[in-house]
Amino acid sequence: VCSMGNSTSRLYSALAKTLSSGAVSQHQDCLEQPDLAQLDPIDPKDLLEECQIVLQKRPPRFQRDFVDLKKNTASNHRPIRVMQWNILAQALGEGKDNFVQCPMEALKWEERKCLILEEILAYKPDILCLQEVDHYFDTFEPLLSRLGYQCTFFPKPWSPCLDVEQNNGPDGCALFFLKDRFELINSANIRLTAMKLKTNQVAIAQTLKCNETGRLFCIAVTHLKARTGWERFRSAQGCDLLQNLKSITQGAKIPLIICGDFNAEPTEEVYREFSNSSLNLNSAYKLLSPDGQSEPPYTTWKIRPSGECRHTLDYIWYSQHALNVNSALGLLTEEQIGPNRLPSFNYPSDHLSLVCDFSFNPDPDRLL
């Protein structure tokens, strides 16, 4: 049983009993979660309280505001909130990523996981797309399933987390959606190829039906190859993902949202491929710029031994003929991030979360 603050958490006590049955040990390439339906639902407010007890000695959460992007188009349904986030794999944060200005104390999993959960609970996404998830079975799947999400995980075939002592299994992409808002129509787990070779990067693509409107749409999550010098490789991976998504969406007949850490600046070829795709995609966060054409100045900001890294790598792409972006969550300012950059005692990852509210265009074919 995990101690939370000054008392033992009822939620985590129940969770610990579940995990003793062996869910954590299931690190095989399982693409669907173990059945934890026997667990009672969790009230999000109760879980948030538990997290705040653990975090009471840390600085408060940063304040971020949504920017209203609605045009003069009225929507007849509740918006669909989508959250994209590379949460930083625990094994990499502690063992490989070398954040030289971040105290190791700030990376302790027992507290950092509560910072991650607090961020998710604060924005209440209908759909959550995560990368670098290496605590899926012992944290995210058990908790989020009890919050009403259907959960899917696809690990990397050769995760670098496995090279770290006392790791928690491979990291990978995870996709969560609220079961009371959507019905799963089909699901594809995609191991990306480059130059006809299978790679270590993956994607999940799921076709959902919105229960309120009856409309179908596809949501995808991915994490492309990192590092300078791998631009052509990322481009090939992006082409492979686009080809898969063209098939899944029947050539853009089904609206599409793609979330990911592309490890690519907007100057890279893979970005241009998505911008110019026949799927008619736009990048949602461009809409925050004055002209609607420029990406944010950064979505990740960290300091490593080689120096300071400030890049725009994370995106939410969407079918601009079929979907409208009602609002987007503003980014942290340089002042909020602070001189030691990310991660920190205030913020659990080196990447910022991106959150958008989408609505269906009532006449999508007119804009194709």
- Looking only at the bridges linking them, the beta strands covering 3-4 and 7-8 are antiparallel
Give domain status of residue 321, yes or no. Answer: yes
Give domain status of residue 186, yes or no. Answer: yes
| Owning domain of residue 98 | 78-362
More confident residue, 39 or 121: 121
Q: What is the mean pLDDT of the chain?
A: 89
Task: Give the pLDDT confidence score for residue 97 in this predicted structure.
Answer: 76
Take residue 242 and report the two structure tokens written for it: 């686009």
Measure the CA–CA gap between 24 and 3, rounded to whole angstroms: 19
The answer, yes or no, to whether residue 60 has pLDDT greater than 80, is yes
* Cα-to-chain-centroid distance, residue 11: 24
Contacts 24+ apart (CB under 8 A), 9-15: 9/50, 9/53, 11/42, 11/46, 11/47, 11/50, 11/143, 12/50, 14/39, 14/40, 15/39, 15/142, 15/143
pLDDT confidence tier of residue 364, bands split at 50, 70 and 90: low
The crossing angle, in degrees rounded to 10, of helices 44-54 and 109-123 is: 140
Beta bridge partners of 205: 188, 220
Residue range 76-96: mean pLDDT, rounded: 93
Task: Give the pLDDT confidence score for residue 39 in this predicted structure.
Answer: 76
More confident residue, 77 or 294: 294
The answer, yes or no, to whether residue 1 has pLDDT greater than 60, is no
pLDDT confidence tier of residue 89, bands split at 50, 70 and 90: very high
pLDDT confidence tier of residue 12, bands split at 50, 70 and 90: low
Beta bridge partners of 202: 191
Residue range 265-276: mean pLDDT, rounded: 98
| Per-residue CA distances from 145 to 12, 136, 178, 180, 200 (Å) | 14, 11, 9, 12, 27
CATH code at 310? Answer: 3.60.10.10
> Model pTM?
0.91
Task: Give the pLDDT confidence score for residue 82 in this predicted structure.
Answer: 98
The answer, yes or no, to whether residue 37 has pLDDT greater than 90, is no
pLDDT in tens, 185-201: 999 999 999 989 999 99
Instruction: Tally Cβ neighbours within 10 Å of residue 321.
Output: 18
Measure the CA–CA gap between 124 and 113, rounded to whole angstroms: 16
The answer, yes or no, to whether residue 345 has pLDDT greater than 50, is yes
Give domain status of residue 185, yes or no. Answer: yes
Task: Give the pLDDT confidence score for residue 11 in this predicted structure.
Answer: 54
Residue range 29-41: mean pLDDT, rounded: 58
The answer, yes or no, to whether residue 6 has pLDDT greater than 80, is no
The domain tally of the chain equals 1
H, E, C per residue of 271-327: HHHHHCCCCCEEEHHHHHCCCCCCCCCCCEEEEECCEEEEECCEEEEEECCCEEEEE
The answer, yes or no, to whether residue 366 has pLDDT greater than 80, is no
Nearest to 314 by CA among 301, 327, 333, 305: 301
Take residue 209 and report the two structure tokens written for it: 């039906």
pLDDT confidence tier of residue 72, bands split at 50, 70 and 90: low
Task: Give the pLDDT confidence score for residue 368 in this predicted structure.
Answer: 47
More confident residue, 95 or 216: 216
pLDDT in tens, 91-123: 999 987 789 899 999 999 999 999 999 999 999
Give domain status of residue 319, yes or no. Answer: yes
Instruction: Tally Cβ neighbours within 10 Å of residue 264.
Output: 28
Give domain status of residue 51, yes or no. Answer: no
pLDDT in tens, 170-187: 999 999 999 999 999 999
Helices and strands per DSSP (H, E), number in the chain: 8, 17
Give domain status of residue 31, yes or no. Answer: no
Give domain status of residue 61, yes or no. Answer: no
Instruction: Tally Cβ neighbours within 10 Å of residue 203.
Output: 25
Give domain status of residue 40, yes or no. Answer: no
Take residue 101 and report the two structure tokens written for it: 């200005």
The answer, yes or no, to whether residue 5 has pLDDT greater than 70, is no
pLDDT confidence tier of residue 17, bands split at 50, 70 and 90: very low
